[in-house]
Amino acid sequence: MTLVHNPILPGCYPDPTICRVGADHYLVTSTFEYFPGLPVFHSRDLAHWEQIGHALDRPGQLDMRGIASSGGLYAPTLRHHDGVFWLVCTLVDQQDSSRGGNFVITATDPAGPWSDPVWLDEDGIDPSLFFDDDGRVWLHGTRLAREPEWHDQTEVWLRELDPATMRLTGPEHVIWRGAVLGAVWAEGPHLYRVDGRYYLLAAEGGTDFHHAVSVARADTVTGPYVGSKGNPVLTHRHLGRDVDVVGVGHADLVQTADGAWWAVLLAMRPYGGYHYNLGRETFLVPVTWEDGWPVFAPGQGRVPAVVEVPDGLPEREAGTTWPPAGPVLPGDLRWTGLRGPADFAEPHGDGWLLRLRPENLTDAATPAFLGVRQQHQDVTVRATLRFDPAGPHEQAGLAVRQSEKDHVLLVVAGADEPGGRRVRAVHRRSGADSVLGERPLPRGTGPVTLAVRARGQEYGLLVATGDDPPELVAVVDGRTLDSVSAGGFLGLWIGVLATSNGVPTGSVATVDRLVYEPSV
């Protein structure tokens, strides 16, 4: 057997969905306002995952302009049928409820290219697909209950989909309203057929501390569905907030080629109190069947720190990191921007040429920002750049991003005197900026190394020039940056930013390289 340590995808990889084709497993997660969107991962053994592409990666597939932080792409479902991969998802604009909706894209190669979206005439969120043995295809999803018995009660609807026309057909069926009386947000539904019965898996309780996995079954796909007496069949909410893993839910089942069953699901790892800067991550849990019902994490009843999977590649040794430490080179699929293609960036050696844009991180736009997820509690991210700002309004450097209203900047900026440079640390919290520290820099375009050194919830911001040792500019309390404090659904991204703060410009910043180096 091969040992794998949870989470299998550390960092902000929420709402995992999985399917198997032969010996190959494919997995996709939510990405909200980040672009490219919907990363596609591949594994042969469920332990070692490689990103092979994004499902939404080109202009024209989807218009995400103006989508605010924690809006965008919610809760995809990935399925495979007759040689075609199907992916359904929701585009959410929290500022304009008339925009967005559910859509489907397809591909014959999960690495892409994927088709343009086809919009589906059904409301709600978290769509899923079920291909029945009789050839019929069923679309299902979640919406607020039409006749709610309590606040935030949701219902799971089901309707047949004609795969030839991508049109919904036939009557709608409401098949689930939650396993527990008074439970909110029964969402993330998935249907399966096992031993002649239909099983409905759904999240419940909201996507934070009270998250849970529930299951129901029926003799026909349209129901009636009867919940398991063991519901919720998996949750950590009874363990309290001081436990190592919280918010367990939004599961999807897969059966491996050897007949074993597994679930991928999301959860969070708090540290420094009830804060989870890495966001909602993807975990793996074994599943068995007893008396016609799935049993998650049998014998434990909670997400295990280590699971055994069928033999594959060698065990990831304790202390090793995923992804590997070192430079994050152009072409690395971990790079993402905001809401659209990074046409402001040009690969340059081990780094980038970034053309400054007037937009900055306070705008729900596409600023000149490229980042990677923070995937480790203790990590140093360093960027070496060369930049000669045209004035005090221009700046380029590192950003730790939660949202438009909450982020941290460590940048090389122009000074008031012509040709002057300074390094500046700024913390934007709840929409208000505070300057944490400034240091003068040598004039010209000499290289400057900026670093974010996270040690738990302490984020040190450092600068170095030439052969000088790094100098601490400021320290930020990371507990002010996670979604518990700032709101939303995201973990943190750390990356490079180049902005003229609203002023037209032709300036360019050269990022020689960015290094992501976990401390192990």
- The more confident residue out of 435 and 326 is 435
H helices of 382-503, in order, are 483-486
Q: How confident is the model at residue 63, as a pLDDT?
A: 93
384, two tokens: 């070496």
Strands 37-43 and 234-235: unpaired
**315 falls within a domain:** no
Q: How confident is the model at residue 388, as a pLDDT?
A: 93
Distance separating alpha carbons of residues 364 and 358, to the nearest angstrom: 13
Whether 489 and 207 have beta carbons less than 8 Å apart is answered as yes
Kindly report the average pLDDT of the chain as a whole number. 94
**293 falls within a domain:** no
Q: How many residues does the chain have?
A: 520
* pLDDT tens for each residue of 347-369: 999 999 999 999 999 999 999 99
Question: Are residues 513 and 400 located together in one domain of the fold?
Answer: yes
φ and ψ at 473, to 5 degrees?
A: -95, -40
Question: Are residues 228 and 343 located together in one domain of the fold?
Answer: no
Q: Per residue, what are the HEC states of 90-116?
A: EEECCCCCCCEEEEEEEECCCCCCCCC
Q: Which of 252, 274, 305 is the last residue of a domain?
A: 252
Q: How confident is the model at residue 236, as a pLDDT?
A: 98
**145 falls within a domain:** yes
Question: Are residues 356 and 486 located together in one domain of the fold?
Answer: yes
What DSSP state is assigned to residue 361? T
**47 falls within a domain:** yes
* List 33, 57, 160, 187, catalytic entry: 187
- The more confident residue out of 106 and 322 is 106
Q: How confident is the model at residue 384, as a pLDDT?
A: 97
CA distances from 31 to 11, 203, 480 (A): 12, 19, 22
H helices of 416-505, in order, are 483-486
Q: Which residues contact 13 (CB under 8 A, 6 or more apart)?
A: 7, 29, 39, 266, 279, 280, 281, 282, 373
Under the banding of pLDDT at 50, 70 and 90, the label for residue 322 is: low
Known catalytic membership, residue 24: no
Residue 447, classed as helix, strand or coil, is coil
Question: Are residues 339 and 222 located together in one domain of the fold?
Answer: no
Question: Are residues 364 and 463 located together in one domain of the fold?
Answer: yes
Q: How confident is the model at residue 312, as a pLDDT?
A: 56
- What is the percent of the chain with per-residue pLDDT over 70, rounded to a whole number? 98
Show the domain range for 31. 14-252
316, two tokens: 């990831």
Average of per-residue pLDDT across 372-391: 96
Distance separating alpha carbons of residues 233 and 102, to the nearest angstrom: 28
What DSSP state is assigned to residue 478? G
Tell whether pTM > 0.85.
Answer: yes
Q: How many domains does the chain contain in total? A: 2
pLDDT above 80: residue 318: no
**297 falls within a domain:** no
User: Of 79-88, 144-153, 283-292, which gets the smallest average pLDDT?
Assistant: 144-153
Under the banding of pLDDT at 50, 70 and 90, the label for residue 314 is: very low
Q: How confident is the model at residue 317, as a pLDDT?
A: 47
Amino acid symbol at 102? N
Known catalytic membership, residue 15: yes
Q: Which of 187, 220, 252 is the last residue of a domain?
A: 252
Q: How confident is the model at residue 416, as a pLDDT?
A: 82
Could you tell me the CATH number of the domain that includes residue 86? 2.115.10.20
Q: Which of 201, 226, 252 is the last residue of a domain?
A: 252
